Amino acid sequence: MTTADTPYSNQIATLLAQFFTRAQNLHRDDPNALTVEYDDQWPSQCYLYNDTPELGENCHWQPVKQSQQDMFDRLGAALDIQIHPDIIEYYSSYWSNHLFAKTGDGDLELLQVWNQEDMERLRANLLGQALDKRKRKHTLSFFFALTTSEDGMLCIDNSSGEVWYEIPGKKPVRKIASSLTEFLQTLTPR
């Protein structure tokens, strides 16, 4: 079974959409919120503008639903594994800038993909992480968030779908949630 054959539950996409809405509502009165410096060399469907902004000018953005991706098929083929559907749905649901959130354990940055080139960079980084884990004989997991208070990251265990706190190069430190859907329900935008 390829990742294209794997049906998405849409729970993760729905929870991300709800998070986006809460973030937009939180920042409704802040004109600088949900802005990014415009870069014509880094295009995205997420940019919101009537006229093309100048290079470096702050530009509002919003998440945009993605169409079907084959990146995870290629990643799975390169690693000769089936990628957990939660990580596929997480990264293949929306084009978006990174999102900032808070949890009971502290603040974090939810990693997102901005455009197709960014998706290819993500593929290279996930492949590198997987190869490093194989070399170290660690459980295979894939990152999806960075913690802001430490050098850690949150990863999805590829076998179980559990969310774990990890420090790069080390074995998983602590289980955070039984699933990505469970974890996403605990987040508050910041």
| Structural domain spans, the chain | 3-189
Q: Which residues of 33-47 are buried (b: 16+ CB within 10 A; e: fewer)?
A: ebbbebeeeeebebb
Model pLDDT, residue 30: 76
Model pLDDT, residue 18: 95
Model pLDDT, residue 108: 94
pTM of the model: 0.90
Residue 114 · residue 97 · CB < 8 Å: yes
What is the homologous superfamily of the domain 3-189 according to CATH? Syd protein (3.40.1580.20)
Model pLDDT, residue 1: 33
Residue 19 · residue 99 · CB < 8 Å: yes
Q: What is the pLDDT along the chain (190 residues), one digit of tens a residue?
A: 334 444 456 899 999 999 999 998 887 777 667 889 999 899 999 998 776 788 888 898 999 999 878 999 999 999 999 999 999 999 999 999 999 999 988 899 999 999 999 999 999 999 999 999 999 999 999 999 999 777 899 999 999 999 999 999 899 999 999 999 999 999 999 8
